């Protein structure tokens, strides 16, 4: 894809990987990553992977799919169960509507030796599940939670979001943003989008003065 006029690729992302796995592992997601890579040595037939949007659920789910060759199911259209013995991924499990079919899915996995990975935004304690047996089954499952970004992950995400938008940012400007950005995946993504839009509107490069304007800081702030 051509680079828009006045833009350059960002600096290379810091080398924070786990072996050949491109998923960036820090304390915020280490436990969840360990669960995914521990398969097939799970102590249950199913695992719930939960975390907010942008926290890496889909990335970890793809890694699990590569390991298992699992079938992907849709929570809101859960009309057909996978064959016995086939592993399955059910994303956005907290939005499931067909609870009876969902319960049958659990039973099939448990009886056939298949594994089931569920992704959701929150733990099953908050899900609106009416069927008592299904709710009981969900609450008994192990839960791997993706936490809000820690400092290490936030630094890497700043570089990644600017790189994805083909924006150049200096280490000094990245450090300035890191010290002031909201500690959330969605908040950081929205902030970088605002910075991108503002820089385009005023036709200026990303710099500490420009970031100060976007963030509404004191123009006299030397930092």
pLDDT per position as a tens digit, 143-154: 999 999 999 999
Q: What is the pLDDT of residues 55-104, one digit of tens each?
A: 999 999 999 999 999 999 887 777 778 888 889 999 999 988 889 999 99
Read off φ and ψ for residue 145, nearest 5 degrees: -105, 130
pLDDT at 86: 87
Q: What is the pLDDT of residues 104-117, one digit of tens each?
A: 998 888 888 889 99
* 47 SS3 class: strand
Higher pLDDT among residues 9 and 91, named by residue = 91
- Non-local (6+) Cβ contacts of 51 within 8 A are 29, 32, 57, 121, 145, 146, 147
pLDDT at 217: 60
Residue 121 reports pLDDT greater than 90: yes
Set out the domains of the chain in order of their start, with CATH numbers: 30-145 (3.40.50.300), 151-215 (1.10.8.60)
- Non-local (6+) Cβ contacts of 212 within 8 A are 176, 218, 219, 221
Question: What mean pLDDT, rounded, does the chain reach?
Answer: 85
Helix H or strand E segment including 73: strand 71-74
Average pLDDT (25-54) is 94
pTM of the model: 0.79
* 175 SS3 class: helix
Is the peptide bond prior to 40 cis by the omega test (within 30 degrees of 0)?
Answer: yes
Residue 222 reports pLDDT greater than 50: no
Best CA proximity match to 145, nearest among 13, 30, 40? 30
Helix axes 185-202, 151-164, angle to 10 degrees: 40
């Amino acid at each position: 894809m051509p680079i828009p006029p006045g833009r350059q690729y960002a600096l290379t992302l810091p080398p924070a990987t786990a072996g050949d796995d491109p998923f960036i592992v820090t304390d915020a997601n280490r436990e969840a990553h360990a669960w995914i890579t521990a398969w097939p040595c799970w102590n249950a037939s199913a695992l719930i992977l939960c975390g907010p949007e942008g926290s890496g659920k889909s990335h970890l789910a793809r890694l699990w799919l590569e390991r298992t060759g699992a079938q992907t199911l849709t929570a809101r259209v859960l009309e057909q169960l996978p064959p016995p013995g086939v592993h399955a991924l059910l994303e956005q499990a907290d939005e499931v509507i067909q609870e009876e079919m969902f319960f049958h899915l659990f039973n099939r996995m448990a009886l056939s030796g298949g594994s089931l990975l569920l992704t959701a935004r929150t733990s099953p304690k908050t899900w609106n599940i009416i069927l008592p047996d299904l709710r009981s089954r969900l609450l008994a499952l192990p839960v791997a939670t993706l936490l809000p970004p820690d400092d290490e992950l936030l630094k890497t995400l700043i570089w990644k979001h600017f790189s994805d938008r083909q924006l150049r940012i200096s280490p000094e400007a990245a450090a300035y943003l890191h010290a002031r950005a909201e500690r959330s995946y969605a908040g950081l993504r929205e902030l970088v989008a605002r910075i991108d839009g503002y820089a385009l509107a005023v036709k200026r490069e990303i710099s500490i003065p420009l970031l100060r304007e976007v963030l509404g800081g004191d123009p006299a702030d030397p930092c």
